Amino acid sequence: MHRNVSLKTYNTFGLDVVAAFLASIQDISDVERLRKTTIWQAEKKIILGGGSNCLFLDDYYEGLVLVMNNKGITTTEISNRKVKVSVAAGEDWTDFVQQMVAMGLGGLENLSLIPGKVGASPMQNIGAYGVELKDVFHRLQALDLETGQLVDFEPSECEFGYRTSIFKTTLKDRFLILSVDFILDRKAELNLDYGKIREEIARMGIRQPTYRDVSHAVSTIRRNKLPDPLQLGNAGSFFKNPVVHQLVFDDLEKEFPDIVGYPGQNGTVKLAAGWLIEKAGWKGFRKGDAGIHQMQALVIVNYGLATGREIFSLAMEVQQSVKEMFGIQLEPEVNFIG
């Protein structure tokens, strides 16, 4: 355990926040030792994976930060096409996806190049280009930080929703996810109909795409659309794409004929939050070192010295502006830590 540690390299906004205490978790024994300390009993705690979906609001976090760094990937054959893959929470998500694609296992290719670690993926129910983590999720194992007991969570117990789960709501910061199991498929059907995947594959000159081709196409699209956190601090999409009833969408379309929406389930439409923000005039806006990305209005960026509060303030201004213009309440996808 270390004291007064800078978290600048532990969060993708690049905020130079200092944590009172930080501990790297290599395996469950590290947690068992920590639970016996007075610091564990006295301090509030948060769990960080890759720090890719969080915003520290203050310059000092007065508590204990747990950073997951356990490693390991194992595969188990279920049938001639299905494979169970068990992955340690500390594994890098992008590296893991690339390994699965290289093995010819389908199901994760649309989730390529999402920053973060595997343990954070079920918490957020990460998703991109028509695929969500819950589509391939099998089970996870977590440690109850209150009791010290190991608990397995089945899909029905995780309460997966759009960019959320029980670990982001009622069980937030109570369970430390140790490993995640996925069911992948050697003959999974390719999902090519979301975004510009087909267009990119056609540009690549490929007629019969593989999982690797889809992964490459998705990665190329993401690189062209989203800034690299190593070059420009950001947490990817700051807001969720709002879901509205078809009747609401129809009314909006009358006033804004070019509005972007995708048909959902049960008579709903998913709106493009980036389009709403851009239409409200925020794309490329900058206030000090906090700004809206010039290529993708859904991304709030740190140009260097912005504080967490400055980024948060800008986000709330954007939220209010969209509410006034469209009557739509944007919900942050980023987790606020104060």
In a domain, 87, yes or no: yes
* DSSP assignments along 15-72, one per residue: ---EEEEEEEESSHHHHHHHTTSHHHHHSEEEEESSSTTEEE-SSEEEEEEEEE----
CA angle, 156 then 149 then 39, to 5°: 120
Q: How far apart are CA 44 and CA 173, in angstroms?
A: 10
Please indicate, yes or no, if residue 220 is contained in any of the structural domains: no
160-175 as b/e: b if 16+ CB within 10 A:
beebbbbbbeebeebb
Domain match, 33 and 120 both: no
CA–CA separation, 170 vs 166, rounded Å? 6
Range of the domain at 165: 73-185
Residue 261 falls inside a structural domain:
yes
Number of other residues whose CB lies within 10 A of the CB of residue 9: 10
Note the pLDDT tens digit of each residue in 56-75.
Answer: 999 999 999 999 999 999 99
Given 38, 68, 98, the domain boundary residue is 68
Same domain for 98 and 38? no
Number of Cβ atoms within 10 Å of the Cβ of 39: 15
CATH number of the structural domain spanning residue 101? 3.30.465.10
**61/82 Cα distance (integer angstroms):** 44
Angle, CA of 120, 328 and 284, to the nearest 5°: 70
**Position 185 confidence tier, pLDDT thresholds 50, 70, 90:** very high
Helix (H, G, I), strand (E, B) or coil at 296: coil
pLDDT at 92 over 90: yes
Tell me whether residue 20 is in a domain: yes
Residue recorded with tokens 């807001």: 239
Number of domains in the chain: 3
User: Which pLDDT band holds residue 338 (cuts at 50, 70, 90)?
Assistant: confident
Residue 84: how many other CB atoms lie within 10 Å: 15
- 212 part of a folded domain: no
Do the domain assignments include residue 110?
A: yes
224 in a structural domain? no
17 and 49 housed in the same domain:
yes
pLDDT in tens, 233-287: 999 999 999 999 999 999 999 999 999 998 988 999 999 999 999 999 999 999 9
Confidence of residue 177 (pLDDT cuts 50, 70, 90): very high
DSSP-H helix ranges across 242-331: 246-255, 273-279, 308-326
- Residue 173: band (very low, low, confident or very high) from pLDDT cuts 50, 70, 90: confident
58 contact partners, CB below 8 Å, separation of at least 6: 17, 308, 309, 338
- What's the average model confidence in pLDDT over 182-189? 96
The verdict on residue 192 lying in a domain is: no
Q: How does strand 286-287 pair with strand 290-292?
A: antiparallel
Same domain? For 79 and 35 the reply is: no
Q: Catalytic site residues?
A: 163, 237, 333
310 token code pair: 């400055």
Answer yes or no: do 88 and 44 share one domain: no
More confident residue, 168 or 49: 168
DSSP 123: H
CB 100 within 8 A of CB 121: no
pLDDT at 96: 98
Out of 150, 185, 220, a domain closes at 185
pLDDT category of residue 202 using cuts at 50, 70 and 90: very high
Last residue of a domain, one of 168, 185, 202: 185
pLDDT exceeding 90 applies to what percent of the chain?
Answer: 91
Taking the C-alpha atoms of residue 165 and residue 280, their distance in angstroms, rounded to an integer, is: 30
Write out the DSSP string of 193-215: -STTHHHHHHHTT-SS--HHHHH
Q: What is the CATH number of the domain that holds 290?
A: 3.90.78.10
Amino acid identity for residue 212 in this structure: R
| CATH number for the domain that contains residue 32 | 3.30.43.10
